[in-house]
Amino acid sequence: MKILLIGHGKMGKAIEEFAVQRGHSLVATVDVNDTLMPTLAEQADVAIEFTHPDAAFENIKFCLEHNLPVLSGTTGWLDKMPEIEKICKKNNGTFLYASNFSIGVNLFFKLNKFLAKLISPQSQYKPSMIEVHHTHKKDAPSGTAITLAEGIIDEHNNYNAWKNDAKIKEGEIPISSERIGEIPGTHKITYKSEVDQISIEHEAYSRDGFVQGAVFVAEWLPDQKGIVNIDDFLKL
């Protein structure tokens, strides 16, 4: 498979290494000072985009307008998702966004929803979330934390919003974001009552899970159409 790799930072470099190990080739790596040329899109089977919250929209739009299936793992740009959905439809394109490409995290998303539904009638248990990442991370809360909070909101009758702050109103889930050293990504959800607590946690040991997931999804994506998600890939 021929990959157009957009973003050649920590994720991009690790994806390049893993993709080449799996026998794929790179049409090009495009970083902030490079130009996305139509000829690059013509030569590629798929684009993988891991850049910056301010850059993702234009990069994804370019791929969709040049008939190139694209996946993005960039977080912090989702206010523009409705526009991407329109562009994808107009161009009969293929697009997948995942806040986290790790298979373990995608199973954890399901566990989170299951727990939220189970605990919903027990209103004495109040949820909170902690996410911990490395100090280079540009966005807070993490994209994964937002997906987890949305999972709780979908399944729990008493919560309808999240806040990246400890000072919350009724119905809000507090998310605390910590930035420490080189931590790849830890997410913990705790439900506390007066007498006990229940916690679930996912801890990434390295970026390998995100990298492998992104390449596996990229291998599958060219045969799909429209806006698809990682649950479709994992058949969850």
Ligand X SMILES: O=C(O)C1=N[C@H](C(=O)O)CCC1
Ligand Y SMILES: NC(=O)c1ccc[n+]([C@@H]2O[C@H](COP(=O)([O-])OP(=O)(O)OC[C@H]3O[C@@H](n4cnc5c(N)ncnc54)[C@H](O)[C@@H]3O)[C@@H](O)[C@H]2O)c1
Residue 217 contacts by C-beta under 8 Å, 6 or more apart in sequence?
71, 96, 98, 101, 230, 233
Write each residue from 66 to 95 as x if it is in contact with ligand X (CB under 6 A), else as -, in one continuous string: ---------x--------------------
Q: Which is nearer to ligand X, 11 or 68 (CB)?
A: 11
Which one of ligand Y, ligand X, none interacts with residue 211, CB within 5 to 8 A by kind? Answer: none
Q: Cα torsion for 190, 193, 194, 200, to the nearest 10°?
A: -30
Selected binder of ligand Y within 17, 22, 32, 90 (CB under 6 A): 32
Listed residue (42, 82, 36) closest to 55, CA to CA: 36
Selected binder of ligand Y within 69, 73, 141, 151 (CB under 6 A): 73
Q: Are 5 and 16 in contact (CB under 8 A)?
A: yes
Q: Are 72 and 225 in contact (CB under 8 A)?
A: no
147 scored as a contact of ligand Y (CB under 6 A): no
Selected binder of ligand Y within 4, 7, 62, 87 (CB under 6 A): 7
Identified catalytic residue from 8, 24, 66, 133 = 133
Which 46-65 positions form the footprint of ligand Y (CB under 6 A)?
Answer: 50-53, 55, 59
Whether 137 is a known active-site residue: answer yes
7 scored as a contact of ligand X (CB under 6 A): no
Selected binder of ligand X within 12, 93, 185, 209 (CB under 6 A): 185
Identified catalytic residue from 52, 137, 163, 188 = 137
Q: Which is nearer to ligand Y, 99 or 112 (CB)?
A: 99
Whether 66 is a known active-site residue: answer no
Q: Are 199 and 119 in contact (CB under 8 A)?
A: no
Which one of ligand Y, ligand X, none interacts with residue 94, CB within 5 to 8 A by kind? Answer: none
Residue whose pair of structure tokens reads 């189970």 in the numeric block = 118
Active site residues: 133, 137
- The binding site for ligand Y (CB under 6 A) comprises 6-12, 30-32, 50-53, 55, 59, 73-76, 98-101, 210
